[in-house]
Amino acid sequence: MRSFYAVAFTGGFTSAARYLSIGQPTVSEQVRALEQRFDVELFYRSGSQLELSSAGKRLYEITKPLFDLEEEAVHLLESFKQRKSGLLRIGGVSPPIAMDLVFKLGQNNPDLELKTYFSSASEVLEKLYDFEVDVALLAHPKSDPSLHTQLYQRYPVVAVVPEQHAWCAQSRVSVEQLRDEPVVLREKGSRTRQIMEEGCEQHQISMNCVMELNSREAIVHAIRKGMGIGFVSAPEYVDIPGTRLITFEHHPFFIDYYLCCLELRKDRPLINDLFMDLESTH
């Protein structure tokens, strides 16, 4: 049937063979077999001239929409192959960091459908393992041979203070100034908290944690009320009235974000492209 359509569509056996990327004898044999099976003449042959019979014309009218749909399907698959369209699901622990990636992807791939999921690192990882997200942006992915990871970006950690805080009169502050300063921290397991605790320990400074909260929004409200200062990676700071961003001298604290996917899925076209683009920018 495919060979018949190709001959009718291109107007000849040789051109049909080129169209199908097979040998001309094969096309001739298949059309002849079709005619013999149903005892019907589909083409009138006269020397080099070829003309559809009445039965051939009616069959061509039926087969043309079928193979037009097939060609449309091939074009669709080619567009996926060329990464022009498709669905990519991104999980992340930090909306500002992940949305920066989503924005760049959307700019470069307007036909790409993007879905995002934000939660704790453990929940995002669970979504990744369960194939509910394709890639994840994590601050500290665990060492796991089933994961493929690549450094996405390194950002300095900054302090967030109430606008009436004494530090607001300074352009930068030293690590030493953290000594005895009341701080509001995320729950244990937070990568930002872990970095600050490890960094302060290296400088032999004991942080004065006055409150522990499991929500960035709650921490911001606590800071605005003057209950203490907090910490975020630089891109996560939002200029909220009543707060100020303070930078540390020499950027002693920083946080690395990694792009992660399952090792068994790293060669999937959209995922592989994302990692290749990331590698080319580093």
d(CA 68, CA 60): 12
Under DSSP, the state recorded for 63 is H
Distances (CA, A) of 86 to 48, 109, 240: 46, 10, 36
Both structure tokens of 236: 């996560």
Q: Which residues of the chain have pLDDT under 50?
A: none
Q: 13-20 and 2-10 helices cross at what angle (nearest 10)? A: 120
Whats the size of the chain, residue-wise?
282
Question: Quick count: other Cβ atoms within 10 Å of Cβ 191?
Answer: 19
| Cβ-contact 261, 147 below 8 angstroms | yes
DSSP per-residue string spanning 45-72: EETTEEEE-HHHHHHHHHHHHHHHHHHH
Greatest Cα-to-Cα distance within the chain, rounded to the nearest angstrom:
101
d(CA 209, CA 190): 14
Of 58, 45, 264, the C-alpha closest to 146 is 264
The residue type of 33 is: A
Burial of 50 (0-12, 13-18, 19+ CB in 10 A): middle
Please, which residues have CB within 8 angstroms of residue 96's CB and are 6 or more apart in sequence? 235, 236, 238
Under DSSP, the state recorded for 214 is S
Of 243, 183, 179, 242, the C-alpha closest to 211 is 183
Q: How confident is the model at residue 80, as a pLDDT?
A: 66
Both structure tokens of 56: 């051939």
The residue type of 97 is: I
HSE toward the beta carbon, residue 31, CA cutoff 13 A: 27
Tell me the pLDDT tens digit for each residue of 158-211. Answer: 999 999 999 999 989 999 999 989 999 988 888 899 999 999 999 999 999 999
Rounded CA Rg of the chain: 31
Under DSSP, the state recorded for 133 is -
Of 63, 64, 53, 1, the C-alpha closest to 30 is 1
Both structure tokens of 98: 């992940």
The residue type of 60 is: Y
